[in-house]
Amino acid sequence: MHHPHPGLRRRGFLTAAAATAAAGIGIGIGIAGCSAGTGAGARSGGGTARKGGRLRAAFAGGGAAETLDPHLGNLFADAARAKALFDKLADYGPDLTARPRLAERWEANAGLDRWAVTLREAVFHDGRPVTAEDVLFSYRRIADPKKAFRARASLEPIDLAASRATGPRTVEFRLKRPTAEFPNVLAAFGAYIVPKGTERFDEPVGSGPFRHVSFAPGRSARFRRNDAYWDGPPHLDELEFVVANEESARINALLGGQVDYAHELAPTTARAHEGKGGRIEIVRLRNSAMQGFVMKTDRPPFDDPRVREAFFLIADRDELVKGALSGAGETGNDLFGKGYAHYAAGLPQRRQDLDRARHLLKEAGAGDLKVTLDTSPVAAGFTEAAGIFRDQAAKAGVTVEVRVGNKDSYWKDILDHGTFASYRSGAMPIESHISQRLLSDSTTNATHWRRKDFDELYRRLQSTKDAAERAGLYERMQRRLYSEGGFLVWGFADWIVGTSRRVRGVARDAPANTLDWARFDKVWLA
């Protein structure tokens, strides 16, 4: 990551050094420091930043239902607009560790259940300072059970009734239990800070790099530069988000010069326009989306770990990446979070081994197995991957019947029903993946992985102050998932963005949903 503000990084590092509890951050910053050495390669184009101009960015949107309420956002377009107008206390670096944003530093007590967060000096667009009261108001709004905001589950560890402002710029968060990875909570999707008392977002006021000018839901949002931005004013005078739901429309608008940035392009489009010195530039954001299948570990046939292992061995991951992602991605190793902090990269790469798979199935008494694979065109490559896996399974004597479900209700349908389903996930810290999907009380546990001893490992991880010891626990939990978990992770898809030739400063090392993804305050027009 090429950070234009070395001061910020240094502060972040000092914070981590001061609070041993946050040493995980120290590791993260260390990694950032290394990759910063690769220099300008991390961002598109070179040269010095030029001020001025208007950039138009095309995203898929949500139609007339779109809102600028940053807590209500669900879509990539919502997240990109929220990021332009608002700030979170922290945000994710390319390795998915939390980096300080509106928070200047954080410190935990010895028990890891009280965190003192100090805010930096920042002002909202109307000139009011960002205070501890604004933070508490925003978090309480998100946690309101009546509103059902997405970020509510992420803020669950905080006891908001007991948390309080200890000064104008200091907040003391009381937690329900020790949470060593608490900074991840501050960086959670949608956990934006809004001015105290805000309930309407027709004329949104935030502390972000751009100010609101106009907004037409489902069409366009126009913002202009916030010269008082604490992280340095953006280079662009104006930023406009336009909505184009069809991929063909986004690429046509980009090719025709109507937009300068097109989000979410198809791999085939990328291949057609990549590196030809053509009209546009393709930016691949690696490790953006985990691709896999979920096996329900609590019911036949997948309640037998031998069957799960056999399925791990059936998958020819290269073929899946080539066929379902058109090669735009990397192979997976049945673990979430390739390239992220704490990823167990040392485990041997699994390869297809049909003999061993057949042997395991026979041992499990499942020699003539029939399985229904639920899938849906809800995400790119899903139905293709299902078809490819069906053919691979046939070679091991397993009959896979592919059932294509409705795409609007797919995620709910596969949560508790069926045995085997297509799955994908956007970027998040490995810790969040575990807490949201792999604990007995997780809200979206699609593999029905409920193991008391695994829960206990997670509890220990969150109560462990020492970073090295925590790293050991991460490794142990992932080893367990690798050998007998319910996630068959065959790949990690690139997120593909196209820009016009005059756009500079688009971060390349930024999985979707991290700080530098869709971040326009560091972008300029040559």
Partner 1 sequence: MRRWTVRRILLGAAQTAAVVLLVFALTEALPGDAAVALAGDDPDPARIAAIRAALHLDRPAHERLGEWAAGLLHGDLGVSLASGRPVAAVLTEGFGPTLLLAGLTLALLIPAGVGLGVLAARREGGPVDRVVSSVTLAVYAVPEFAFGVLLVTVLALRLGWLPPTAVGYGTDLLAHPDVLVLPVLVLLSRPVCSISRLVRAGMVEALASPYVAQARRYGLSGARVRYAHALPNAVAPAAQQLARTVDWLLCGVIVVEALFVIPGLGTVLMDAVTARDVPVVQGLAVVFGLVAVVLNLAADLVAHRFAPRAGAAA
The minimum distance between CB 277 and partner 1, in angstroms, equals 17
Told to check if 143 binds partner 1 by CB under 8 A, we report no
* 255 Cβ contact partners less than 8 Å away, ≥ 6 residues apart: 279, 280
Helices (H), 166-228: 182-186
The minimum distance between CB 81 and partner 1, in angstroms, equals 15
* 447 Cβ contact partners less than 8 Å away, ≥ 6 residues apart: 294, 295, 296, 297, 437, 438, 485, 486, 487
Pick the closer one to partner 1 by CB: 35 or 252: 252
Told to check if 468 binds partner 1 by CB under 8 A, we report no
As beta bridge partners, residue 118 has: 105, 170
CA distances from 294 to 24, 231, 267, 414, 484 (A): 29, 41, 24, 9, 12
Backbone phi and psi for residue 16, each to the nearest 5 degrees, phi listed first? -65, -40
Q: Which two tokens stand for residue 445?
A: 């546990």
Told to check if 62 binds partner 1 by CB under 8 A, we report yes
Query: Measured in whole angstroms, how far is the alpha carbon of residue 321 from the centre of its chain?
Result: 20
User: Per residue in 1-10, is it b (16+ CB within 10 Å) or e — as a string?
Assistant: bbbeeeebbe
Pick the closer one to partner 1 by CB: 118 or 220: 220
Told to check if 247 binds partner 1 by CB under 8 A, we report no
Told to check if 200 binds partner 1 by CB under 8 A, we report no
DSSP class of 4: S
The minimum distance between CB 231 and partner 1, in angstroms, equals 28
Site track 428-467 with partner 1 (rule: CB under 8 A), x = hit: ---------------xx-----------------------
Q: Which two tokens stand for residue 216?
A: 């037409």
Q: Give 313: exposed, middle or buried? Use CB within 10 Å, 0-12, 13-18, 19+.
A: buried
Told to check if 71 binds partner 1 by CB under 8 A, we report no
Told to check if 146 binds partner 1 by CB under 8 A, we report yes
The minimum distance between CB 435 and partner 1, in angstroms, equals 13
Pick the closer one to partner 1 by CB: 94 or 190: 190
Question: Which one of the spans 33-41, 106-114, 238-246, 290-298 is the region binding partner 1 (CB under 8 A)?
Answer: 238-246
The minimum distance between CB 144 and partner 1, in angstroms, equals 10
Pick the closer one to partner 1 by CB: 249 or 266: 249
Whether the link from the prior residue into 233 is cis, omega within 30° of 0, is no
DSSP secondary structure, 308-327, as one string: HHHHHHH--HHHHHHHHSTT
| Contact pick of 95, 240, 316, 521 for partner 1 (by CB under 8 A) | 240
Told to check if 273 binds partner 1 by CB under 8 A, we report no
Pick the closer one to partner 1 by CB: 273 or 522: 273
Query: Measured in whole angstroms, how far is the alpha carbon of residue 235 from the centre of its chain?
Result: 26
Give pairs for 401-405: CB < 8 Å, separation 24+: 401/370, 401/371, 401/372, 401/373, 402/372, 402/373, 402/375, 403/372, 403/373, 403/374, 403/375, 404/375, 404/376, 404/377, 405/374, 405/375, 405/376
The minimum distance between CB 360 and partner 1, in angstroms, equals 32
Told to check if 266 binds partner 1 by CB under 8 A, we report no
Question: Hey, is 404 helix, strand or coil?
Answer: strand
The minimum distance between CB 468 and partner 1, in angstroms, equals 33
Pick the closer one to partner 1 by CB: 427 or 467: 427
Residues in contact with partner 1, counted by CB under 8 A, come to a total of 45
CB 241 within 8 A of CB 57: yes
Please report, as a single letter, which amino acid is at residue 63. G
Question: Which one of the spans 17-25, 199-207, 217-225, 297-305 is the region binding partner 1 (CB under 8 A)?
Answer: 217-225
Pick the closer one to partner 1 by CB: 63 or 367: 63
Told to check if 147 binds partner 1 by CB under 8 A, we report yes
The minimum distance between CB 246 and partner 1, in angstroms, equals 5
Told to check if 248 binds partner 1 by CB under 8 A, we report yes
| Contact pick of 238, 304, 384, 413 for partner 1 (by CB under 8 A) | 413
Q: Give 61: exposed, middle or buried? Use CB within 10 Å, 0-12, 13-18, 19+.
A: buried
Q: Which helix (H) or strand (E) holds 223?
A: strand 220-225
- Which three-class secondary structure string do you get for 108-138? ECCCCCEEEEEECCCECCCCCECCHHHHHHH
Told to check if 118 binds partner 1 by CB under 8 A, we report no
Question: Which one of the spans 37-45, 211-219, 317-325, 510-518 is the region binding partner 1 (CB under 8 A)?
Answer: 211-219
Told to check if 150 binds partner 1 by CB under 8 A, we report yes
Pick the closer one to partner 1 by CB: 349 or 406: 406
Told to check if 220 binds partner 1 by CB under 8 A, we report yes
CB 222 within 8 A of CB 242: no
| Contact pick of 50, 140, 164, 219 for partner 1 (by CB under 8 A) | 219
CB 269 within 8 A of CB 254: no
Q: Which among 378, 480, 493, 491 has a CA at the least distance from the CA of 438?
A: 480
3-state helix, strand, coil in the chain (%, to 5): 30, 25, 45
Told to check if 67 binds partner 1 by CB under 8 A, we report yes
Pick the closer one to partner 1 by CB: 252 or 383: 252
Told to check if 145 binds partner 1 by CB under 8 A, we report yes
Question: Which one of the spans 205-213, 252-260, 349-357, 476-484 is the region binding partner 1 (CB under 8 A)?
Answer: 252-260
Residue numbers 367-406 binding partner 1 by CB under 8 A: 405-406
Residues near partner 1 (CB under 8 A): 56, 58, 62-67, 74, 145-148, 150, 152-153, 216-220, 240, 242-246, 248-249, 252-253, 255-256, 258-259, 405-406, 408-409, 411-413, 415, 443-444
